[in-house]
Structure 1
Amino acid sequence: MRNAVIEVRDAREEDRDGFIDVLLAAYGQYADVLPAGRWETYRASLRASFDEGRPIARIVAVLEGRLIGSLQLFGSSEEAYGMPELNIRNPVFRYLAVAPEARGRGVATLLIREAIRRAKALGADRLNLHTTDLMQDAIRLYERLGFERASETDMTGGEAVVKGYRLELNEAALRI
């Protein structure tokens, strides 16, 4: 299994339950650290994410027939968050998730590479994302891959600042 090839492809309708299961398992690590009641709200939004919104793509990573990772790619901040005022008119990825038992195998990097490839194929010159300080492992990965803070796209409200990041889709980014 360690040498098995991880397939990255578009999610299919039959992936729905596995997609949601991976999201819940991946983000479940925050259940005990979020303020009271916040996890249930977040969990409900994760659960609804496969059926709601208008992503350009729902991308999955599959290992030996089992879904182990997922990511959703949106065309803009309006499509991703219903927030045109963020002024992001290029692709935004959300809901990057890797099953806990598959972590450390490069799954997140494979999914981000695919998001980069697709954003570039759309003619975009950058790719955006948002995260919080709670997700330090993800932030380290994003920064290692070349994403830079885009504080002008930060979102505030509730108990935390949701920080914006961007990656310029230049030749270096295409080699990730």
Structure 2
Amino acid sequence: MPESRIVVRLETPSDRESVRRVLLGAYGQYENTLSRELWENYIEEIEAAAAGKGAATKARFVAELDGAIVGSVFLFESSETAYGYAGISTPIIRLLAVVKAARGQGVATELIRACAELAHAGGAESLHLHTSDRNESAVRLYERLGFERAFECDRQYGDILAKSYRLQLNETELLRS
């Protein structure tokens, strides 16, 4: 049987519905762990982002596995463009998502690598992201890839602590492999 190959590319407008399905499928796991209000706000934000509404991205990547879109990620210039608040002036990853059936196959790593390469090529020294303790497997991945906690950039949303992580682009093995 031939080995699957992951292809990461920039999203096109015709990919938007596939990206929407990937995002809703991946983030649907949080529906029963968030308050109804937070969940409804989150879904609205995801739907708007998938449709290309709201904050302007630096890049929107999709990952294909065997020709099907199985992952996506959005890269923003800063916390101002990603979240609407100042504080992080380097690129930020948001809404990294991989469908359940494709998890564990390196899709998220390749999406992060694409963001790191673009950020580094643009002169950035670091790349940020936020996640919570609800996403243990993602935290393990980020730490394995060399992300370190950036406590000073944490954000509180209701009862959820959005933990900030930073990857030093000049030091990461991610850009050497």
Partners of 2:16 and 2:152 lie apart in 1 by 34
Q: Deviations over 1:44-77 (max 9, x none)?
A: 2111113221110000001233110000000011
Residue matched to 2:72: 70
In structure 2, which of residues 52, 55, 65 is the aligned counterpart of residue 53 of structure 1?
55
1:37 shift after superposition: 3.4
Q: Figure out how many residues of one structure are paired with residues of the other and give that number.
A: 174
Partners of 1:8 and 1:143 lie apart in 2 by 22
Going from structure 1 to structure 2, the CA distance change for 1:171 and 1:155 (only over 3 Å counts) comes to: closer
1:16 shift after superposition: 0.3
Q: Deviations over 1:8-29 (max 9, x none)?
A: 0000000000001000001111
1:34 shift after superposition: 1.5
Residue matched to 2:37: 37
TM-score by length of 2: 0.93
User: Gaps spanning 5+ residues in structure 1: where?
Assistant: none
Partners of 1:28 and 1:71 lie apart in 2 by 16
Instruction: Say whether 1:20 aligns with 2:58.
Output: no
Partners of 2:141 and 2:4 lie apart in 1 by 23
Residue matched to 2:89: 89
Partners of 2:148 and 2:2 lie apart in 1 by 32
Partners of 2:145 and 2:107 lie apart in 1 by 13
Between the aligned residues of both structures, percent identity stands at 48
1:98 shift after superposition: 0.1
Q: Deviations over 1:59-104 (max 9, x none)?
A: 00012331100000000110110111x2x11110000000111111
Partners of 2:137 and 2:2 lie apart in 1 by 22
Residue matched to 1:128: 128
Going from structure 1 to structure 2, the CA distance change for 1:172 and 1:36 (only over 3 Å counts) comes to: closer
Residue matched to 1:175: 176
TM-score by length of 1: 0.93
Q: 1:54 is aligned with what amino acid?
A: A
Partners of 2:168 and 2:9 lie apart in 1 by 23
